[in-house]
Structure 1
Amino acid sequence: MATVAERVGLDPERLWGVGVVALLVALVGGSLAFPRVVYDGFIWHYFWGPVQADANSAVCAVRAGGVTQYLDSASACAAAAEPVAYPGYTLVSEVGYMVTLIIALTGVVFLLRRLDIGEDPRFFFALVPFMFFGGAFRVVEDANDTPGVADALITYPLNTLVISPVIYVTVFAITLVAVVGAVVAERRGVIGDYMKLLFGVGSAVLAVTLGYLLWAGLTGAQGATFYPQVLLVILAGATVAAAATWWLIERFKPEINAGTGRIGLVVIWGHAIDGVANVVGLDWMTALGAGNNLIPKHPVNKAVVDFTVSTLPEPIFAITGGAWPFLLVKLVAATAVVWVFDEQIFEESPRYAILLLIAVLAVGLGPGSRDMLRATFGV
């Protein structure tokens, strides 16, 4: 059976490009021709409006007559005429972001193929610092958005670049420039190994971001503090959890990690950081002398805590807390994903397998490092 590309007479790369251009033309053209319906009622309502509301620390944003207003009262937001945008995600926006992610990953595959890179497992490890950087960079915005803080480092509209989901585009763009720049530098003979430079660039931007957060924590700027015990407990807990999971895999089911090797261990460790950061942040901050326990913001985290509260007897819950099942869920899910990437997948399409594993690690390590650093710096 002929593929879509064969039927229209275009190679997959050009077909992807034509599709992206057509989508952009439809959105831009629709916004110009029908601004109230396409832009205000769809693009702004579900995608840009929530970012604006978050960037301005508003309860909601309202779009009326082509003008955006920010409201600080829940009752005023409830009484406002649509479109009304609240900080955070909606079902429509989450579907839109998933579609965008699929389109972007497809484009990245084409780019890696064109550059003839991405098949070496070292490429995976070279990008790990960028995943930590994404989480740390998001905490910079958290520090600027701390209630009662007036000395914000980044203000509107620049702070939209570090607010979800725009921050993913920002970090992706920085990473993409680093990848292309490192490859070009190698092929022009400036350096001998582009992956070493790529790892170095990621480490450098991460170091600068952590340096700013450390300065803010030590000086109290942007309302930040510094709780090193939280950082140590989370890193140690995640390392122990990942090592125990790895030992169980190697001892009883080594075929789970036969395809991924050390990449599988890093994936499990990244998701362990996410799990342990939630356990510490939601249940053990007070016990560690690091301020009040945090409140779960993500629906999955809240659902896990609510389930634990409703099933565990009060005396046991008082000792264990309610977030620990989330760590188990993360470890099981990460192990299951690693199991999927067997040796056959790497033999048939190593570039695509490595790219997907990068995405899997980013899903855990990105929010996990953010939660870890938020708890560490009290923002």
Structure 2
Amino acid sequence: MATVAERMGLDPERLWGLGVAAILVALVGGSLAFPRVVYDGFIWHYFWGPVQADANSAVCAVRANGVTQYLDTASACAAAAEPVAYPGYTLVSEVGYMVTLVIALSGVVFLLRRLDIGESPRFFYALFPFMLFGGAFRVVEDANDAPGVADALITYPLNTLVISPVIYVTVFAITLVAVVGSVLAERRGLVDDYVKPLFGAGLAVLAVTLGYLLWAGLTGAQGATFYPQVLVVILVGATLAAAATWWLVERFAPEINEGTGYIGLVVIWGHAIDGVANVVGLNWMVALGAGNNLVPKHPVNQAVVDFTASTLPESVLAVTGDAWPFLLVKLVAATAVVWVFDEQIFEDSPRYAILLLIAVLAVGLGPGSRDMLRATFGV
């Protein structure tokens, strides 16, 4: 059966470009023709408004007559007329970001094909530091806007570049520069393997970011503190959870990881970081002597906490907390995704398979490392 591109007489890259252009024309044209409905009611309400509210440390942002206002109390937000945007994500925005991610991944596949890279697991491992960097970079903004911080390191609107989801674009741009620069260095004979400078660039930006956070935590700058016990508990807990999951897979269902090999273990570990960081951050900060417990920022996290709290008796919740099912969800989901990537997928399209696994790891390890470091540095 002929593909859509073949029936239209277009190559896949051009068809992708036309599709992206059509979406942009629809959003921009709709915003100009129907600003209150398309821009205020959709784009701003679900995507840009939450970023503005977060960047300005507001409880919510309100859009009225083309003007954005920032409110500082929950009661004022509840009384405001829609559209009202709160920091964080909504189900609508998360679906929108997933669609955007799929479109972006397709474009990246075309780019990697042009560069003739990305088919080896070495590419996956080379990008691992950048995923940790993304989470750490986001914590810089958390410290920047922490309560009581008088002189912010980054002010609005520049701080929007390090707020989710815009930070994904920022980190992607930095990573893209590193990838292209490393490939050019190899082809010009400056290095013998592009993977080495690519991995080194990731380590460099990660080290600089962690160095700043450690300095802030040790000196109290930007309202940060340093709770090493939190970091140790999360890393040890996630590693044990991932190891136990991997042992169960190897022992009872080895076919799950036949396609991915140790990449699957890294994916599970990355999502275990996200799960354990949420359990510790939401339930055990006080018990660890690390300040107040955090609050969930994602609808899925909140839904899990609400379901657990409404299902289990208070006597049980006092012992277990209400966030632990999120860790189970993350482990099961990550294992299921690893199972999807069988040997056939790698044989048919190894570049796309590697890229998808990078994305799968990033959506777990990015938020997970952010939550882990946010709890570690008390911001």
TM range (shorter): over 0.9
With over 3 angstroms needed to count, the CA separation of the structure-2 counterparts of 1:32 and 1:317, relative to structure 1, is: closer
* CA distance in structure 1 between the partners assigned to 2:308 and 2:292 by the alignment: 20
Instruction: Tell me how large the CA RMSD over aligned residues is.
Output: 1.8
What is the 5 A alignment of 1:155-234?
155-234=155-234
Aligned-partner Cα distance in 1 for 2:148–2:204: 31
**CA-CA distance at 1:26 after TM superposition:** 3.0
What is the deviation of 1:185?
1.1
Residues 1-379 of structure 1 mapped to structure 2, 5 A cutoff: 1-379=1-379
Once the two structures are superposed, what CA deviation does each residue of 1:166-189 show, in whole Å capped at 9, x if it has no partner? 111111111111111111111111
Offset of residue 224 of structure 1? 0.6
Gaps of 5+ in 2: none
Aligned partners of 1:139, 1:114: CA distance in 2, in Å? Answer: 34
Q: By how many angstroms is 1:81 displaced?
A: 4.1
Q: How far has the Cα of 1:307 moved from its partner? A: 3.1
Residues 333 and 93 (structure 1), Cα distance of their counterparts in 2 relative to 1, 3 Å cut: closer
Paired with 2:179 and 2:271, the residues of 1 have a C-alpha distance of 24
Contact 1:151/1:221 (<8 A) preserved: no
Change in CA separation of 1:332 and 1:39 when aligned onto 2, cut-off 3 Å = closer
> Offset at 1:308?
2.9
- Once the 2 structures are TM-superposed, how far is the Cα of residue 11 of structure 1 from its aligned partner? 0.4
Distance in 2 of aligned mates of 1:166 and 1:94: 13
Residues 62 and 82, structure 2, Cα contact 8 Å, conserved in 1? yes
Query: SS at the partner of 1:63?
Result: strand
Could you tell which deviates more after superposition, 77-86 or 208-217? 77-86
Output the CA distance in 2 between the equivalents of 1:79 and 1:283. 31
SS in 1 for 2:68: strand
Cα drift, residue 72 of structure 1? 2.2
SS in 2 for 1:70: strand
- Partners of 2:227 and 2:88 in 1: CA distance: 28
- 1:250 and 1:37 map into 2 onto residues whose CA distance is 52
Distance 1:308 1:63 in 2: 35
Relative to structure 1, the CA distance from residue 334 to residue 175 in structure 2 (aligned partners, 3 Å threshold; closer, same or farther) is: same
Q: Return closer, same or farther for 1:316/1:43 CA change in 2, 3 Å cut-off.
A: closer
Partner Cα distance (1:300, 1:130) in 2: 25
1:16 is matched by which residue type in structure 2? W
- SS at structure 1 position matched to 2:214: helix
> Which residue identity is paired with 1:12?
P
Deviation, structure 1 residue 249: 1.7
How much has 1:33 moved relative to structure 2? 4.2
Q: Which string of whole-angstrom CA distances, capped at 9 and with x for unpartnered residues, describes residues 119-164 of structure 1? A: 1001000111011011111111111121222121111001101111
CA–CA distance in structure 1, aligned partners of residues 87 and 245 of structure 2: 37
* Runs of 5+ unmatched residues, structure 1: none
Look up the SS of the partner of 2:88 in the other structure. coil
The CA distance in 2 between the partners of 1:66 and 1:31, in whole Å, is 12
Q: Structure 1 length as normaliser, TM-score?
A: 0.94
Query: Which range is displaced more, 47-56 or 185-194?
Result: 47-56
AA paired with 1:151? D
- CA pair 281-83 structure 1, distance change in 2 beyond 3 A: closer
What whole-Å deviation, never above 9, does each CA across 1:317-362 have from its counterpart, x for those lacking one?
3222222222222112211111111111111111111111111111
Distance (Å, rounded) in 2 between the aligned partners of 1:144 and 1:275: 25
